[in-house]
Chains A and B, each alone.
Chain A
Amino acid sequence: MDETFGNYSILGKAIPRVDARAKVTGQAKYAADIEVANMLWGQINRSPYAHARILNIDTSKAEALPGVKAVTTGKDFGGFKWGWSGPTRDEEPLAVEKVRYQYEGVAAVAAVDEDTAQEACDLIEVDYEPLPGVFTPSEAMQEGAPLVHDDRPGNICVEYHWNFGDVDKAFAESYLVREDTFQTPRMAKGYLEPPAVVAYWPDPERIVYIGAKGSPYFPYRILAKCFDLPLSNVRIITPIIGSDFGGTKNDMTPADFSAVMLAKKTGRPVKFVTSQFDALTTDLRRHPMWITVKTGVTKDGILKATSLKAVADGGAYTRISPLTMFLVGTCQTLPYKLPNFKYDAYNYFTNNPSSAAMRGHGLYHSRFAADVQLDMIAEELGLDPVEIRLKNSIENPKPGEIYETVNDVHVATCGVQECIEKVAEAVNWKARKGQKKVEGDTAYGMGFAAATYNSGTKLSAHNACAAIVRVCEDGSVNYLTGATDVGQGSDTIMSAIVAEVLGIRLEDIDLKRVDSAFTPVDPGSYGSRVTVHAGEAATKAAEDAKSQLLEVAAQQFGVKPGDVDIKDKKVFVKSSPERNMAWERLVRIACYETPGKVIIGRGYSTQGISMYGLADFSKGVGDIGTNYSFTAQASEVEVDVETGVVKCTDNNVIAHDCGFPLNTQAVETQVQGGSYHQGISAAVYEEFKMDSGQTLNPNLVDYKRPRAYEAPMTQVIHVITNDPYGPFGAKEASEGSCCSAPPSIVSAIHDATGVWIKDLPAQPEKVFWALKKKREKGQK
């Protein structure tokens, strides 16, 4: 039986996805499925070098190839540079003077078919002067190291130093102080759908761009700037999107710019479909990071202070690294009480493909390090992993009260204690103690972790997030949103919120995906912001439309607007419900009676901007989130002690405090997926292998991705806290489980074998050698 929560008509239970039928019948159109009449195909010419000066580009042979309609190089963009924020605009659509990572785009071709475009790309002659490069942060930080950007001394991309409380004094007073260094792997984002785009110019002043973008208002603004057009003339249309997880489908690619440029040159639509090889070699990756945590505790295991140092490989361009490094630090003071905290962050440019946001952005690195270390501390002190977590975790503030961390992060609801207790109970944690853990060559172990994630991320610019509810005269409703469903289910949630507020059925709502010519602006799908912000906008837009209709209803019934309401598609007088009329009739009266109204509800989110102001990256204070989700997880693994192969068992439980689960099913699926694909996978499977800037495993055979036969049948427990800052009490779902999964797995491996794997992923070879070392040490 599916659980239901709250007292709503639609929300708080399993809601079938509005797009599921199209997806399960193959009718859903993704970017690569789109064809436009007279369309050309594009291909990118890419640099074989990771670091080289471009001396000359000769496109004449390519241009002469029959079937080629246009060629473009970086020079066509007139010096345009773009980036995440004003000061970080360091990237060109196609490299002009220098390439900074292998396979960076240098030129592009539009031709009558894909093969001809590829052939023409191969005919482009680029003279390079290869340059020495830097390929790890430790190389990049050396004195006299080659510079990735000539104007960025020391290859420093981002540097922060924060200090809260008195860390040194707290360490001096601590009973135990531990310092450990952990490492997280360079990872692919994991989407199966490679980026694709079709672009055309309906007239010389207007762009139409149809592409797989999770944040379509990024290309909206960037293309307007790049091609010097007013925003009104840039039309971004989003097809169905095959996942994102942050990064490339938020940002621009050489293909995005080239499609628009080549369409301009040829006067014809141009389509680019990225290959998986290109996606795996050039798309943004999760930052590889080296995290050193020093933690002091009392004899009872109460946290006194943490000093965190994070060193990251930012890759060739800044992209979103300033935010990444902020996130690594800011939530270190959650979900446990931490009175003293110091953070030093260093992010270096290297000649690797750029790093960027990924599901669990930032927090995943530091939570992994700190939560595993907490188990090490517990072991040293003879404390139980659950006990030490319960002791330190933040209590749920009373309604109306706020918990404030030492770095000014504000939490109105925190279900972490309940999450920990529920998981411990579900896996019968206490009874596990002293159980036999080895069967033949297989050792079993269970690990515990807790985590948090910021939801409703708010940044210093482009926060506007709006919605329009248009009630058609027959009672059907169009919902126009700027939010983009990349698979997380926001189209369903937004439709459900609108239907709930209006008092009608989910089927009455027709959601319009982003078409910037008609839909209102929205920052996009990142930072677990959509449910909280776009959900608030949806609520307000629906309330606005509803109040316009209630005014008409009140007139009809001869009462005040506050005396009428709508439920189950019936408008009724609250005090005497027998006085009612059908929803359709009310709408018809409103629209048809002289002078005839147009019912359009408008709404925009405000929660993100008010309250405590915005986060200050350089000082490390303030809220990046509007509210914060909490997660606890227990994972059991089986370790083959002969081969080092680690596998999850089905004994995997996550309790997740998402405030209020608007769609219980979607929350469960998100939490299970976040845990497995981007959490457990980081812990045991995935890593790009690199050699001097070259990706050695750029295909889905050599780059191991988690598959069904290894998947734990994770159980999800809902913990309800009803956050006052989320629509209907909601907070984020899924990024928290990305953060709790890796430490729970590493602790489980330790529980099974006694070895600590501090350098992810715990691939068989690594575990094998660790076990061998431990055995040899034992023999001595």
Chain B
Amino acid sequence: MKGEMKELKLTVNGKPYELEVKAETLLVDLLRQELKLTGAKVGCLDSACGACTVNIDGKAVRSCSVLALQTNGREVTTIEGVADGDKLHPIQQAMIDHGAIECGFCTPGMVMSAKALLDENTNPTREEVKEAIQGNLCADEGYVKYIEAIEIAAREMRGGQ
């Protein structure tokens, strides 16, 4: 029933949570409004822009397209959980160094899509890189430097090979 509170146990960025949520709460609203993790952005709520992308058990998922309850027992990683303390993830570092970021609104989603790809495969083809971020709209930078930055990060993750 609408408004009814349900129990939810999940891990977000390595931290376990036991929460009460409404059945209709979207994951993105849980993250942004309840947990105050505003790194995932809301661009459309139609699963079209990818700005809200997070990783659930290592897979890139648009957090506006799943209910919070669907993450019960799962591990959610948001952009806030990607860096290791002060040390940035190679994807983040490459995006900075390569000048991929402009307004940055799509960046968290872009990082999460790239991370899901590179966690599985550190040697993707260019087509695979493009495919991994095809659900992430960017408005201003033309994708070129994002694609190249992900390739640079992949090389870094392979130990410079």
Interface residues of chain A, those whose CB is within 8 Å of chain B, are: 14, 16-17, 19-30, 32-33, 190-194, 240-243, 245, 273, 275-276, 486-489, 665-666, 668-670, 672-677, 699-701, 705, 707-709, 711-714
CB-based contact B137/A713 at 8 Å: no
CB-based contact A29/B38 at 8 Å: yes
* CB-defined contacts of A21 to chain B, threshold 8 Å: 88, 96
User: Taking the complex as formed, is B19 at the interface, i.e. its CB lies under 8 A from any CB of chain A?
Assistant: no
* CB-defined contacts of A29 to chain B, threshold 8 Å: 38
Residue of A273, A489, A677, A711 contacting most chain B CB atoms (<10 Å): A711
How many angstroms from the CA of A275 to the CA of B45 in the assembled complex? 8
* CB-defined contacts of A24 to chain B, threshold 8 Å: 79, 88, 92, 95-96, 101, 104, 107-108, 111
- Asked if A677 meets B140 with Cβ closer than 8 Å, knowing A240-B104, A242-B105, the reply is yes
B88 to chain A, nearest CB (A): 7
* CB-defined contacts of B49 to chain A, threshold 8 Å: 192, 276, 700
Which residues 70-102 of B sit at the A interface, judged by CB distance below 8 A?
78-80, 82-83, 88, 92, 95-102
Nearest CB to that of A676 among chain B residues? Answer: B142
Closest 9 CB pairs of A and B: A26-B39, A487-B103, A23-B104, A242-B105, A665-B99, A26-B79, A672-B142, A700-B48, A33-B38
- Given contact pairs A487-B103, A711-B143, enumerate 19 new A-B contacts (beta carbons under 8 Å): A24-B88, A24-B96, A24-B101, A25-B83, A26-B40, A29-B38, A190-B139, A191-B139, A192-B138, A242-B105, A276-B43, A276-B49, A486-B103, A487-B139, A669-B102, A700-B43, A700-B46, A707-B143, A711-B147
Q: Please name 26 pairs of A and B residues whose Cβ atoms are closer than 8 Å in the assembled complex, sorted by A.
A: A16-B99, A20-B101, A24-B101, A25-B79, A25-B82, A26-B38, A26-B78, A27-B39, A27-B80, A33-B32, A190-B139, A191-B139, A240-B104, A242-B104, A243-B139, A243-B140, A276-B43, A668-B99, A669-B100, A669-B145, A673-B140, A708-B130, A708-B133, A708-B143, A711-B143, A711-B147
CB-based contact B96/A708 at 8 Å: no
- Asked if A25 meets B140 with Cβ closer than 8 Å, knowing A669-B145, A701-B48, the reply is no
CB-based contact A700/B102 at 8 Å: no
- Asked if A19 meets B104 with Cβ closer than 8 Å, knowing A25-B39, A711-B147, the reply is yes
CB-based contact A711/B130 at 8 Å: yes
A37 to chain B, nearest CB (A): 14
CB-based contact A677/B38 at 8 Å: no
* CB-defined contacts of B35 to chain A, threshold 8 Å: none
How many angstroms from the CA of A421 to the CA of B133 in the assembled complex? 35
A407 to chain B, nearest CB (A): 32
Write out, one digit per residue, whether chain B residues 55-83 have a CB within 8 A of any chain A CB (1) or not (0).
Answer: 00000000000000000000000111011
CB-based contact B88/A677 at 8 Å: no
How many angstroms from the CA of A711 to the CA of B137 in the assembled complex? 11
A15 to chain B, nearest CB (A): 8
A640 to chain B, nearest CB (A): 18
Nearest CB to that of A680 among chain B residues? Answer: B142
CB-based contact A699/B141 at 8 Å: no
How many angstroms from the CA of A433 to the CA of B92 in the assembled complex? 43
* CB-defined contacts of A487 to chain B, threshold 8 Å: 102-105, 139-140
- Asked if A25 meets B139 with Cβ closer than 8 Å, knowing A192-B106, A711-B147, the reply is no
Nearest CB to that of A492 among chain B residues? Answer: B99
* CB-defined contacts of B41 to chain A, threshold 8 Å: 30, 32, 192-193, 242
Nearest CB to that of B134 among chain A residues? Answer: A709
- Asked if A16 meets B96 with Cβ closer than 8 Å, knowing A26-B40, A32-B42, A243-B103, the reply is yes
* CB-defined contacts of B98 to chain A, threshold 8 Å: 665
User: Taking the complex as formed, is B51 at the interface, i.e. its CB lies under 8 A from any CB of chain A?
Assistant: yes
A18 to chain B, nearest CB (A): 11
Which residues 125-161 of B sit at the A interface, judged by CB distance below 8 A?
127, 130-131, 133-134, 136-147
